[in-house]
C-alpha cells in the first residue's frame, strides 16, 4: 500500500555557519512528512539521504506523469504497515543543502552575485547538514527525535546527530555505513570528481551560464559509482559475459558486453537528472566525515558523550561500506557501554542491498521499531 | 530438559545487576530473563539470522557475529559475567573461546552436554553413538563438533590456567553434585582467569 506524498519548502533567514568557516546567509530546505506527530511529539523519525537521493523518501506524487516513476527511494522501508510504520511514526524526509532536488544548491542564485552559485557554492559537511536538519526539525515543533535513520552517507548523518545533539536523539539506525571513508573509498570518489571536472562542458562549475551540462563526466562518475554499489556475484549473475549482439564485433569502442550497455544506460539516466556540482559537493562531504579525527583517531573517545541507542546493520557482500567498518562503530559503542544491536545481513546485492527488499533486513528494522513503539506507547499511557 | 527451569538454574549463578555478555545467546530468552528478573544489562552474541530477529523482538541487544572469528571486539574484563551456555560444543576453536571468555569476563559460566553421562556410555558400549533427549542428533548431522565430558573440561581448564570456582551437573533442572560426570547430562562450570 502506498500513499500520496507532498513536497514542501521551508525558508531560513538566520545565517548557517559552516565547518569550512563560510556561512550561508539564507537558504531553503525541501522536505516531506508522512504520518502524524502525536500529542507528546515523541514519535518523530528523521530519514537522512545518501548520495543521489532526496527528501522524497516514500509514497508517490499525485501530479506525476506516471505514479510508478515517482515512488520514494525508501518506499520498501517506510509507509503504512511498513517496517517504519507511518501509522505509528511521524516520518520526516529532508533534502540536504547542496543537493539538486529542491533545497538550496549550486544551481540556485547566489544572492550576492545574482548569478548561479556554481563552483562558488560553499563546501558543506555532514555536520553542516545535521545542523540544517536540526533547524527544520525544531521548526516543526519537535524537541527530541525518537529516531534518526539512514543508509550509507545517510548513516553517517544518523551517527553525527547523536554526536552533535546527544540528548536530542533517542535511537540511531545506521545502515551500510562507516565511521569514515578509507583511502580506496576516497579514491573512487576522486576518480568520479575528476571525470566531471575534466569534462569540457563543466566550465569550472559554471556550466549553467553556458547552457550546457557536463554529461560525459557525470556518466563516467555514475558508471564508477554503480560498479562499487554492486557485488561481483550479482554482476556476474545478472550479466556474466553475455554479449549485446550475437557476434563479437572486434571493436574497441562499440558496446560488446551487456554489462557495458547497462553501465552506459545507468550513466545516461543519471546525467539527465543529477547536477555535476552537487556530485562534487556530496562526495566531498563523504570524504570529510571523520568524527574520530579530533579524538586522536579514537572512535571510542569520540563516542564518549553519546547517549542514543543504536541499531547498526551491514551487508556481507558490501565492499564499498564493508561489515568491518560497521563493526568499528559497534565496537566503539560497546566500549562506551551504549545500547547497540548489530545485524550482518547475508544479502548478495553489495552496497545496494540497503535500498532493496530483503526479508531478514526489513524484519530486523521492523522488530526494532516495534520495540521503540512500545516505549513510546508506555510513555503516552504514563502521561494520561 | 525444561528450558525455563534450566534458565533459572543458570541465572542463579549470575550476580544481581551484572553486566553480561551471552555468547551464542540463541533467541535471547536467558538474557531477557536476566534483564527482567536480575537487573542485568549487556549483549548477546549470535550468528543465526532467525535468532538475531527473535532477540530484537524481545528487546535484547544482540551483536551478530561468528564466534569462531574471536572476541576482538570486546575489551579485557569489560563484562561482569560472560555466559557460554550450550555454545562450546559447536565451536571450531573451543579452546581459544574458553580463554577469551575469562579474558572478557570477570566471571565465566560455561554449560555444555556431558558426553560421559551414563546413558551415553551405555550407548557407546553397545557400539552406537548416543542419541538422547539432551543429544538428539545423529552422528552424521550433529552440530556438536566438540564432544567432551565433565572431566575433560577440568583438564582443559587446568591446561589454560583457568580457575574453576564451582562446578556441578544438571539433570532435569536439578543440580547434581555427586558423580556429575556419570550422573548428569549437562555440565556447568563457573570459572575465572
Query: What is the tens place of the pLDDT at every residue in A207-260?
Result: 999 999 999 999 999 999 999 999 999 999 999 999 999 999 999 999 999 999
- Of the residues A316, A328, A341, the best mutation for testing chain B's interface (the one with the most B CB atoms within 10 Å of its CB) is A341
Helices of type H across B145-186:
150-159, 180-183
Alpha-carbon gap, residue B189 to B13, rounded angstroms: 10
Residue A67 has pLDDT above 80, yes or no: no
Contact between B78 and A334 using a beta-carbon 8 Å cutoff: yes
Amino acid A339: pLDDT: 97
Alpha-carbon gap, residue A59 to B170, rounded angstroms: 56
B75 contacts on A by Cβ (under 8 Å): 335
A343 contacts on B by Cβ (under 8 Å): 52, 56, 64
Contact between B65 and A363 using a beta-carbon 8 Å cutoff: no
Contact between A364 and B53 using a beta-carbon 8 Å cutoff: yes
Quick one: closest CA in B to A315, which residue? B64
**What amino acid positions of A are annotated as catalytic residues?**
152, 318, 351
DSSP A8-62: EEEEE-S-EE-TTS-EESSEEEEEEEES---TT---EEEEE--TT--S--SSB-T
B140-163 mean pLDDT: 94
- Of the residues B22, B35, B41, B43, the best mutation for testing chain A's interface (the one with the most A CB atoms within 10 Å of its CB) is B43
Reported pTM = 0.96
Quick one: closest CA in B to A370, which residue? B57
B8-34 mean pLDDT: 96
Banded pLDDT at A191 (limits 50, 70, 90): very high
Helices of type H across chain A:
126-139, 153-164, 183-197, 215-229, 232-238, 258-273, 276-288, 299-302, 323-335, 359-383
Amino acid A25: pLDDT: 95
Task: Please tell me which of the candidates B19, B53, B61 has its beta carbon nearest to residue A363.
Answer: B53
B78 contacts on A by Cβ (under 8 Å): 334-335
Quick one: closest CA in A to B58, which residue? A371
B62 contacts on A by Cβ (under 8 Å): 341-342
Amino acid B75: pLDDT: 95
Question: A4-18, A198-212, B133-147: which has the minimum mean pLDDT?
Answer: B133-147
Task: Please tell me which of the candidates B59, B64, B74 has its beta carbon nearest to residue A334.
Answer: B74
Alpha-carbon gap, residue A342 to B62, rounded angstroms: 6
Contact between B43 and A330 using a beta-carbon 8 Å cutoff: no
Amino acid at each position: 500500500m502506498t500513499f500520496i506524498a507532498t513536497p514542501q519548502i521551508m525558508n531560513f533567514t538566520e545565517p548557517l555557519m559552516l565547518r569550512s568557516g563560510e556561512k550561508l546567509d539564507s537558504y531553503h530546505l525541501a522536505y516531506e512528512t508522512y504520518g502524524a506527530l502525536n500529542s507528546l511529539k515523541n514519535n518523530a523519525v528523521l530519514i537522512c539521504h545518501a548520495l543521489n537521493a532526496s527528501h522524497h523518501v516514500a509514497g508517490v506524487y499525485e501530479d506525476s506523469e506516471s505514479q510508478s516513476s515517482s515512488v520514494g527511494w525508501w518506499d520498501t522501508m517506510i509507509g503504512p504497515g511498513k517496517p517504519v510504520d507511518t501509522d505509528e511514526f511521524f516520518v520526516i524526509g529532508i533534502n540536504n543543502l547542496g543537493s539538486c532536488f529542491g533545497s538550496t544548491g549550486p544551481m540556485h542564485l547566489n544572492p550576492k552575485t545574482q548569478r548561479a552559485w556554481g563552483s562558488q557554492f560553499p563546501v558543506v559537511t555532514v555536520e553542516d547538514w545535521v545542523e540544517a536538519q536540526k533547524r527544520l526539525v525544531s521548526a516543526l515543533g519537535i524537541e527530541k527525535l525518537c529516531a534518526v535513520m539512514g543508509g550509507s552517507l545517510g548513516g553517517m548523518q544518523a551517527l553525527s546527530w547523536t554526536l552533535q545533539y546527544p540528548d536530542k536523539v533517542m535511537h540511531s539506525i545506521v545502515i551500510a555505513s562507516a565511521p569514515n571513508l578509507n583511502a580506496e573509498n576516497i579514491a573512487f570518489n576522486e576518480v568520479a570528481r575528476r571525470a566531471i571536472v575534466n569534462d569540457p562542458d563543466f566550465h569550472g562549475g559554471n556550466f549553467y551560464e553556458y547552457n550546457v551540462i557536463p554529461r560525459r563526466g557525470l556518466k563516467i562518475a555514475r558508471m564508477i559509482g554503480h560498479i562499487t554499489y554492486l557485488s561481483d556475484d550479482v554482476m556476474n549473475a545478472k550479466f556474466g559475459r553475455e554479449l549485446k549482439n550475437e557476434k563479437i564485433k572486434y571493436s574497441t569502442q562499440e558496446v560488446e558486453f551487456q554489462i557495458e550497455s547497462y553501465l552506459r544506460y545507468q550513466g545516461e539516466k543519471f546525467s539527465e537528472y543529477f547536477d555535476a556540482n552537487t556530485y562534487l559537493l556530496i562526495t566531498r562531504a563523504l570524504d570529510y566525515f571523520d568524527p574520530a579525527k579530533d579524538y586522536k583517531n579514537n572512535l571510542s573517545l569520540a563516542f564518549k558523550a553519546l547517549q542514543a541507542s543504536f541499531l547498526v546493520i551491514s551487508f556481507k557482500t558490501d565492499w564499498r561500506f564493508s561489515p568491518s567498518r560497521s563493526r568499528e562503530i559497534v565496537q566503539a559503542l560497546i566500549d562506551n557501554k551504549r545500547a547497540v544491536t548489530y545485524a550482518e545481513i547475508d544479502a548478495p546485492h553489495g552496497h545496494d542491498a540497503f535500498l532493496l527488499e530483503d526479508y531478514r533486513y526489513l524484519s530486523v528494522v521492523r522488530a526494532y521499531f516495534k520495540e521503540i513503539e512500545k516505549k513510546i506507547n508506555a510513555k503516552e499511557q504514563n502521561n494520561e | 530438559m525444561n528450558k525455563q527451569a534450566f534458565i533459572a538454574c543458570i541465572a542463579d549463578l549470575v550476580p544481581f545487576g551484572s553486566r553480561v555478555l551471552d555468547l551464542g545467546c540463541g533467541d535471547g530468552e536467558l538474557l531477557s530473563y536476566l534483564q527482567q528478573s536480575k537487573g542485568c544489562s549487556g549483549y548477546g552474541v549470535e550468528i543465526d539470522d532467525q535468532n538475531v530477529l527473535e532477540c530484537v523482538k524481545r528487546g535484547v541487544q544482540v551483536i551478530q557475529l561468528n564466534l569462531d572469528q574471536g572476541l576482538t571486539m570486546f575489551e579485557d574484563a569489560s563484562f561482569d559475567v560472560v555466559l557460554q551456555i550450550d555454545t562450546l560444543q559447536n565451536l571450531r576453536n573451543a579452546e581459544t573461546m574458553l580463554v577469551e571468555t575469562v579474558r572478557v569476563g570477570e566471571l565465566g559460566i560455561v554449560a555444555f552436554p556431558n558426553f560421559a553421562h551414563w546413558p551415553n556410555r551405555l550407548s557407546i558400549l553397545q557400539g552406537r553413538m548416543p542419541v538422547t533427549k539432551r543429544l538428539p542428533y545423529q552422528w552424521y548431522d550433529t552440530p556438536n563438533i566438540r564432544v567432551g565430558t565433565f572431566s575433560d573440561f577440568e583438564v582443559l581448564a587446568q591446561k589454560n590456567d583457568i580457575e574453576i570456582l564451582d562446578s556441578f551437573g544438571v539433570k532435569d533442572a536439578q543440580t547434581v553434585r555427586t558423580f556429575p560426570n556419570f550422573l548428569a547430562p549437562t555440565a556447568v562450570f563457573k570459572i575465572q582467569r
